[in-house]
Chain A
Amino acid sequence: MPAVAAPSALRHLYEQMVLGRVFETEAERQYKADHIGGYCHLSSGQEATTVGTMHALQPDDLLVTGYRSHGFALARGVSPEAVMAELFGRRDGCAHGRGGSMHLLDVGHGYYGGWGIVAGQLPVAAGLALGLVRQRRPQAVLVELGDGAVNMGAFHESLNLASLWGLPVVFLVVNNEYGMGTSVARASAEPELYRRAAAYRMHGERVDGNDVQAVIEASDRLLTQAREERRPALLEAMTYRFRGHSVADAGLAYRTKDEVREHQAQDPLFRVRERLRAEGLSDEDFDAIDREADERVAAAVQFALDSPEPDVAQLATGMHAAGSAEQFARMRPGSAFGEQALTFDAGLGS
């Protein structure tokens, strides 16, 4: 895959960005229709960053994200069907209906999880990179975190380990200006977040996270260094989330409508569209792209609706490795009421 998108590739990137946007819009609708529950964090407005970084990530590289992850999963190649079915809590979801919106995963695509505890994914990503080194694999790890995660101890510990041990990991800080209702300036004593890497003698840089080509250039360069020279890096992508923190947040208690509107006027999709228009794409082409995304997402919704609910008799499936049921077999006497049927009989380690 070329690092900088050729004209034909640009159209493909645009298609992915549109797919991401349409998917999120539909997810919100399905949430309101009660088909999706729990926390559901949308990444509308951040498509250039999600699609751009995923373009630079090679098929054998590994990906780890936080909970705002639908866009990353889709751009990584997880099917909209498997993601939507997961949001619906269905058997054919990419985490078998166990994880929901925050805990997508697809090992086949090198995606080692959406994680829900701010910064919790960072040491895990460092460990994946350590595993790659120990296994003498030439790949790198890309780990996504929000601007709000940089004040957690786990962030600092992970950067230090990565730099000290020369781990092939790129820390992608998606700076969308807010962690819930707290702006970066109100949360971080050093609000130029990329500069924090310097404390660990790690390379840090900022990129316009709304410019998909700039994101590809920077992330490709940093991932290449990580793969080839075992040099970790921090990439801060400057972007904005159009929607609230989650679908439950209107997103206006801490920012003005004007501020949101201003950013929407700079929609990262518009920019790519202008470039494509200059390359000769017509309104009909754009309509066709929109229609295709609508159809793919509609198909994903239908797939999710058709997928069966998980089997309650399999409640504990996957919790322990195969063969563990034998180890737990003698724990039954004196069980709490329901524990036996729900845990020991419900697929434990079988």
Chain B
Amino acid sequence: MAKEYSFYPGCSSQEAASSSNYLKSVQSMCDVLDIKLNVIPDWNCCSASIGYCGGGELPRLALSARNIALSEQHNAGQDIVATCAACWLATKETQERLDHDAGLMAETNEALAEAGLKLKNETKIRHMVEVLIEDIGYEEMGKHVKKPLDGIKIAGYVGCQTNRPFGIEGESFENPKYLDKFIETMGAEPVEKYDKKVSCCGGALAFSEPEKSQALIKDIIEAAYDGGADMIVTPCPVCQMNVEVYQDKINAKYGTKFHIPVTYYSTLMSVAYGKNGKESGLNGQIIKAEKLEAIAGK
């Protein structure tokens, strides 16, 4: 029987948004693993880590609280699963803060009442990679591989928010291994000692402080090349976008020759599970993942 989850896609995974290709590959991957994602009806944006200028603490807590309350009402008993690190983090932080502060919890429910909602705050908030590791397991993930990703060397870029402050159970902040294990399980080779694995790419500041952020991104890409990588893989839509789309600008500024594809773990899995390029979201690449395309086209 399919495992069911209450799914929070977040703004960046909406149709025709910046990580719509992530969603595509996640759907293909879940299809193979018999995971059923029930979208939280009428979910709203969580304001990530950048809503704080106009939004005070309580309005921001109310945002995530509304999503949890909707989930508790419509998808009762199901864990919430997010694919975006920022969504996962904001929702989990809200749950924790409200759990520890009865005053804020009461005020949040007063605000939610205006939308006809009530928060119990009893739902587990999880990232998709937690579902894969804890509910599916590496062994089962490996069983479905039809086309091993032989001969591809991949730098697993974990980034910040899937790693800190919560991180994945049993992993360290300095050197989490799960992404490397995903890569191996799909038959590809992870870059050992990728020393920018958990470095910051600038996050939302890639928009507002482009030069400072691009300096950070440059180091992340350089370290991947140093490790002999053919491509980079991440679990976070913001990381994916930042590391992929600014390569031309970085080349122009620093005289580098970067041209390295950046995909999601779910892209790898979808291709290894035998899905075609479109089903794996490969048409969403700005820098084409040619080695994956070759395998998907076989």
Q: Are A and B interaction partners? A: no
Q: Interface residues, chain B, CB within 8 Å of chain A?
A: none
